[in-house]
Amino acid sequence: MILFFASIATISIVTAQQPIKSNSKFVTNYEKNNFNRTPRYSETVEFCKLLDKNSPMVTYTSIGTSPQGRDIPLLIADKDGLTSPDEIRAKGRSVILVEAAIHAGEPDGKDAGLMLIRDIAVYNKFPGILDNVSLLFIPIINVDGHEDFGSFYRINQNGPEEVGARFTAQRYNMNRDFIKADAPETRALIVLYKKWMPELFMDIHVTNGADFQYVSTYGVDHCGFLNDNLLKWTNNVYEKKLKEGMAAAGFPIFPYFESYSNTNQRAGVLPNNFPPQYSNGYASANNRIGILVENHIYKPYKQRVESSYNLILQSLKIIGENSRELQKEIALADRNSASDMFRRDSLPLMFSHDFKDSILVDYLAWNDKKVKSELSGADWTYSDRTSPVTIRLPLFTSYKKDLMIKLPKAYIIPQEQIATRELLDLHGIKYSILNTDTTIYVETYRFVNPKWSEFPNEGRVTLTTGYTTQKEYVKFRKGDLIILTAQPKVKIIAHMLEPKSPTSLVYWGFYNLFARPATEFWIRLNYMEVKGREMIAKDPALKKEFETKKANDPAFANDPQAILQFFMSKVRENVEPNVSRYPVCRIL
């Protein structure tokens, strides 16, 4: 195994250092240009079509069209040239989906994937690598942002010479968009994901932040967005073998992290956790493995592409060699999610680090150097890249479950919530339709002290709010939607519909109109003088409540406006009894 990994590293590095002669039609634009230029959209698509034309294993297609009218390219690499999930599953193969350039200024995965598919399908460099696994590769998902091309984006990034923009043409950050799916490109990607349900989803990025020796860091679930059995398999099989393989290939990797201390790198590191608005978190909530690759912004582009190449290659090898085992674990996770037992336990919607427990790991860093800056005059601490050091530091891999919710038997959604229904369909969530008007005993949420963001977040005015819960009879109409939680996508359902979830549709502003404070009316004294008398004459209980309040609250009793407001509030309760009620109800 070590020899195999070493040969992979040698081949990939030799391929990059000694590219095919420039007159070969299979040389990538990246290789032709001293490994520091990434191709434009048209050049990328042209190369994809070239691979399709010259290998029966490769199929070029598109997953949709961008707002600016560009096709979003997809390459399917399969041993037999199969192009549908049903055909490929019938062969017993697993599927890996790799996307690149979701942030188009981070194109490493694009150039790596194009070279790897060429090496597999045209040059047959890794015979048998696709025996048990097929590859879906999106070289550019953010195609419009990619063509907003220039040399001034990500100016602290070490190559390539020019890159695209982080956001789409509509200014969406797609890697925050996997639940709300505002961007058309995100919706196209989710349709593809739903169709194929890949065993592994790899999303390749570039990060800045801490400085270290690693070319690539990575993020997989450690906290528990995955079901327990699949979490163990991910950490004990896939992650373990990936780290071993990448180290043997000359590219050791480390978890994508935040520092415990901003001033002391030896204090420890915290692997990030990823809720489902992110690509890899979305995969986890679907009972599939997601891996976020974060290449290091200060490393030369050539190194970053080579590391990405090997990450995809090692993943193909690991998933291929363990295909049947992984498929069994995923099937078990899906069955568990749809079971009654899954709903007996509370479901965590968030996790936080538990600092009571950690493990000591070797961390490949640089020694820090502190000097007086000639530029600013301040003390400047920087990483001395001529002075590597291995630090033994704590890695905090224990997590506490936060925001625990008890899953209902079902959610029920009024049919007029069209945007929510569209998202249910997009994400592949099953529901049934009420065939008659009916009254159901449900649990409801009411908003308390709602607060909206001062500035938009990802294009939306987000909502944070408290809640009260109550059980009551609610009338529903023929055509309303019932979503049973006994289905594999139950975690996606909960993250969307539970208003406390940080990725919920409530948070993203889909239900802002229901959280608004009750409308304040200018009170016409003459009118309320008349109406108030009518109300207490007809309702003895109201009269008693009014008199008791006056007796116990002198400030109220001596405030004519407050008295009239008291009666107006009673009118409002009848006119808009559910003004603050979240319309998605829970059937327990």
- Do 60 and 49 contact (CB within 8 A), yes or no? yes
Helix (H) or strand (E) holding 90: helix 85-90
Q: Say what angle helices 108-121 and 301-321 make with each other, to 10 degrees.
A: 50
A 10 A CB-CB count for 266 gives 15
Q: Tell me how far apart the alpha carbons of residues 228 and 210 are, in angstroms, rounded to a whole number.
A: 31
Q: Tell me how far apart the alpha carbons of residues 482 and 484 are, in angstroms, rounded to a whole number.
A: 6
Measured in whole angstroms, the distance separating CA 199 from the mean position of its chain's CA atoms is: 16
The tens digit of pLDDT for each residue in 41-86 reads 999 999 999 999 999 999 999 999 999 999 999 999 999 999 999 9
A 10 A CB-CB count for 112 gives 31
Measured in whole angstroms, the distance separating CA 233 from the mean position of its chain's CA atoms is: 21
Q: What is the pLDDT along the chain (588 residues), one digit of tens a residue?
A: 233 223 333 334 434 444 445 558 999 999 999 999 999 999 999 999 999 999 999 999 999 999 999 999 999 999 999 999 999 999 999 999 999 999 999 999 999 999 999 999 999 999 999 999 999 999 999 999 999 999 988 999 999 999 999 999 999 999 999 999 999 999 999 999 999 999 999 999 999 878 999 999 999 999 999 999 999 999 999 999 999 999 999 999 999 999 888 777 788 999 988 999 999 999 999 999 999 999 999 999 999 999 999 999 999 999 999 999 999 999 999 999 999 999 999 999 999 998 888 999 999 999 988 888 888 888 888 889 999 999 999 999 899 999 999 999 999 999 999 999 999 999 999 999 999 999 999 999 999 999 999 999 999 999 999 999 999 999 999 999 999 999 999 999 999 999 999 999 999 999 999 987 555 555 566 678 888 899 999 999 999 999 999 999 999 999 988 998 888 888 777 766 677 899 999 999
The tens digit of pLDDT for each residue in 166-179 reads 999 999 999 999 99
Is domain 2-339 classified as CATH 3.40.630.10? yes
Residues of the chain with CATH 3.40.630.10: 2-339
Q: Tell me how far apart the alpha carbons of residues 215 and 296 are, in angstroms, rounded to a whole number.
A: 5
**What's 523's DSSP letter?**
-
Q: Tell me how far apart the alpha carbons of residues 8 and 310 are, in angstroms, rounded to a whole number.
A: 8
- Do 150 and 162 contact (CB within 8 A), yes or no? yes
